A and B are shown apart, each in its own frame.
Chain A
Amino acid sequence: MRLRRFLLTACLAALPALVAATAVQAQGTIRIGMTAADIPLTNGQPDQGFEGNRFTGIPLFDSLTMWDLSSADRPSTVIPGLATEWRVDPNDRTRWIFTLRRGVRFHDGSEFNADAVVWNVRKVLDREAPHFDPRQVGVTATRMPTLRRAEKIDDHTVALFTSEPDSLLPINLTNLFMASPAQWQRFRDANPTAEAAWNAFAREPSGTGPFRMARFVPRERVEYVRNDAYWGDKARAERIVLLPIPEANARTAALLSNQVDWIEAPAPDAIPQLRARGMVITSNAQPHVWPWQPCFVGDSPLRDVRVRQALNLAIDREGLRTLLGGMMAVPVGTVPRGHPWFGNPSFQIRHDKAEARRLLAEAGYGPNRPLTLRVQISASGSGQMQPLPMNEFVQQELRQVGVNVEFDVIEWNALFTNWRNGCQHPSARGAHAINVSFAAMDPFFAMVRFWDSKMAPPVSNNWGHFNDPRFDEMIRVARNSFDAAERDAALARLHAAGVDEALFIWIAHDVAPRAMSPRIRGYVQPQSWFVDLRLPYIQ
């Protein structure tokens, strides 16, 4: 009896110490649970989509042009980064002149200059360069499709050349991060191959970003410390710890058990519990599109614009938002109303089942001739939000206007592969639409790759083989408009035409939900896929 009492007392005495040990952590350290299954590449060109750019790109490296991530109230725009200004050569519109920021140094102390820019362009575009890295090509060249080469003019001026006149280049360049040539050379001297040097560089990267890497445990964690020599506003947090936690419930549990201070994409059904425990849930409009992309060839019923418009009108998107606990934005196109590229479409995307039925009847569909659609979807996947319940919701909505939807549910990686193959490929298995979400920050990725006839598979993501010379011409005009206002106006005309033709079934925009401890202050959630980790700090 005495022993039992002793054990009980000992356990009770140990409890506060145990709880306290869990709660203690260094001041100024923000621990973030990412959705990625592994730490995105730290060699200067991250993989794992834009989560990679968000966490191992922007904090460690800078690019010539950067996104303005300082405001939650307006769409994020491109601002000067390591280049202070740029202009296209009026005599040769494939030649751009970039003036570089002076006095910037890499984390290893070497100077950032025109040679570094040329070196960084060559790392992904020049196969003859000693530091060319095929692994970085896939994640970089795809995001700046017209850039061909760079040429030094003087120490602080470079010329960049494109394959054709392309006013979108400054936006594309936000994806080309500047790694330190001196650091890479140091590793090259100590390693037998360029590939080995890049692997060593990834363990000890050197950029010009607001954070420096302090520790890297493969597959488990990466730790940054503040770069006190940063050329811009310095970070407020002293240290950032990034942990890959791909499972949504595990992320939520990690936050609630005080193992992390911030998690990406909490599970929607966990949000009430997180709020009840005092966690802060943040979200904002994000340039993200969760659509059904139609097939425009063969016997696809979606060749008919009336059918596409009817589907856009038949969906109660507010109901879908309720299903997702409010964690989506209702789309009216690829970009939201008020965006510089929205334009003035005559077709208004809204919930109007009566009009949807009328359009379907006009197209020849009704009780005697029901419309059946086959859609390829995934059960999960990066950026796919909650694909199964969302698609089932849309299926039920469309059934109310007499449209039967059959799903071909395939694994995410396979869906990706099929997306590149196009709807005429056997892998489409007769699908009339495909559900792959995408980022829409950049006009090329938001519109051009889907609506330009030259972008049909295998070139890019015009999965539905859309082909309309009017759109090709509008894209050509936009790419040749080098005045920003003129370019935006051209893109607005393109977008409005896309909405009028209902080139997507626009279903939802993600709002990038995050959950964080109330001790995090200064955080701003911009209308972007990215965040500025310089702003938050921990109280």
Chain B
Amino acid sequence: MFFYLIRRILYAIPIALAVGFVCFMLVQIAPGDPINAIVPADAPGDVVEQVRRDYGLDKPLPVQFGIWLMKVVQGDLGRSLATGRSVWSDLSSAISNTLLLATVASLLGFVLGCILGGLAGTFRGSFIDRAATSIAVAGVSVPHYWLGMVLVVIFSVQLNWLPAMGAGPGGSADWAWDWEHMKHLILPAVTLAVIPMGIVTRTVRGLVAEIMNQEFVTALRGKGLTRGGIFVHVVKNAAPNALAVMGLQLGYLMGGSILVETVFSWPGTGLLLNNAIFQRDLPVLQGTILVLAMFFVALNLLVDLVQTALDPRIKRA
């Protein structure tokens, strides 16, 4: 197990290099110019060239990439071209905001998905099954930015119950677990939860249905176990796969909530990436994608380990 862990950690190094390189090249290939993050469009050519030299953007691409890589190895993600702030300071606050949102949305999606999937799998073919499946299909089909706008129109604009944007009355810097802050979390978390809810529902439904058909469940019934007792056994068998699916969903939510964070002006990694893309803010873009990729790798590893712990039949070596 120990060597497996070391091997997986070592695998992360080429992944990090590849992610950094691909991201760097994609930004270079795309039309536009990172210099636009620093100078306005009406800047004269000599000023543009001078600023380009000041920021090292006139150097050959391999040199630029090498300089960035050397700094990253030393733990320095550089400074934003647009704001001059340290990438890490912006990124760390963005990650904590996104982690908060993604965790709440994942938990919500996971719990609801397990309940709906469990019910659908247990009562296959019934009205409950059809209703749960419909909800799951709607969850994965509805564009979540559209759902976010609809929720804002209903609960913020019309009813004035919940805030439409932001991460707290004074911003995310003074986040607290009180109602004034938590109400800012409700709409984005619900919006973000619908996709994992749908996926988990469908997964759990399939798992429960499959497990319920297995012989050991018939044997348990034959032994006179109560419905609750059988349920515990079904859950234990379904949990590893459901957890694996949820782990991946959390990974997607960490990096894939650009639209939802933009709709709700939630100051997370999605909004940070969105702004960095439009401004061609290369250091922010590369730093954010690298950290998110590493997060995804770590999350996969964690899910594997949890799966092993939950199901001794799975061997990691």
Contacts and interface: CB of A to CB of B under 8 A. Distances in A.
A482 interface: no
Nearest to B51: A138
Contact of B265 (A139, A195, A245): A245
Contact of B171 (A221, A245, A460): A221
A400 interface: no
A138 B38 contact: yes
Interface in B75-106: 79, 82-85, 89-90, 93-94
Contact of A220 (B33, B45, B153, B172): B172
Interface stretch (B118-126, B127-135, B273-281): B273-281
Given A253-B153, A259-B165, A438-B42, A219 B272 contact: yes
B18 interface: no
B276 to A, nearest CB: 10
A261 to B, nearest CB: 14
A413 B156 contact: no
A254 B32 contact: no
A417 B31 contact: yes
B45 A460 contact: yes
B28 to A, nearest CB: 13
A421 B31 CA distance: 13
Given A141-B47, A202-B84, A257 B156 contact: yes
B40 interface: yes
B46 interface: yes
B166 A243 contact: yes
Interface in B18-48: 30-33, 36, 38-48
A413 B82 contact: no
B86 to A, nearest CB: 8
A202 B278 CA distance: 23
A470 to B, nearest CB: 23
B40 A250 contact: no
B32 A19 contact: no
Contacts of B207: none
A458 interface: yes
A148 to B, nearest CB: 13
B285 interface: no
Contact of B166 (A15, A215, A220): A220
Contacts of A427: 31
Contact of A259 (B93, B166, B179, B280): B166
B93 A414 contact: no
B165 A254 contact: yes
B164 A414 contact: no
Looking at A22, A219, A417, A449, the one whose CB has the most chain B CB atoms below 10 A away is: A219
B110 interface: no
B161 A142 contact: no
A458 B41 CA distance: 12
Interface string A43-56: 10001010000000
B201 to A, nearest CB: 26
Contacts of A138: 38-40, 43, 47-48, 51
A199 interface: yes
A134 B35 CA distance: 12
B173 interface: yes
A411 B32 contact: yes
Interface residues on A, range: 35 or more
Contacts of A504: none
B190 to A, nearest CB: 16
Interface string A13-45: 001001101110000000000000110010100
B215 interface: no
B262 interface: yes
Contacts of B280: 413
A218 B51 CA distance: 24
A414 B31 contact: yes
A195 B89 CA distance: 16
Given A138-B40, A256-B156, A220 B31 contact: no
A517 to B, nearest CB: 13
Interface in B226-270: 262-265, 267
Interface string A458-495: 11110000000000000000000000000000000000
A414 B172 CA distance: 33
A246 interface: yes
A422 to B, nearest CB: 10
B218 interface: no
A202 B82 CA distance: 13
B149 interface: yes
B141 interface: no
Nearest to A439: B42
Contacts of A142: 39-40, 42-44, 47
A145 to B, nearest CB: 6
B90 A257 contact: no
A86 interface: no
Contact of A22 (B82, B149, B160): B160
Contact of A219 (B36, B39, B50, B271): B271
Contacts of B47: 137-138, 141-142
Nearest to A418: B31
Interface of B: 30-33, 36, 38-51, 54-55, 79, 82-85, 89-90, 93-94, 149, 152-153, 156-157, 160-167, 170-173, 179-180, 262-265, 267, 271-272, 274-275, 278-280
7 contacts: A21-B179, A22-B161, A37-B271, A141-B47, A217-B173, A259-B164, A417-B32
Given A243-B166, A247-B265, A460-B44, 15 more contacts: A38-B82, A49-B40, A137-B47, A138-B47, A199-B85, A217-B170, A218-B89, A218-B90, A220-B166, A243-B165, A245-B265, A249-B149, A258-B160, A419-B41, A460-B42
The 4 closest A-B pairs by CB, nearest first: A458-B45, A138-B39, A414-B31, A134-B54
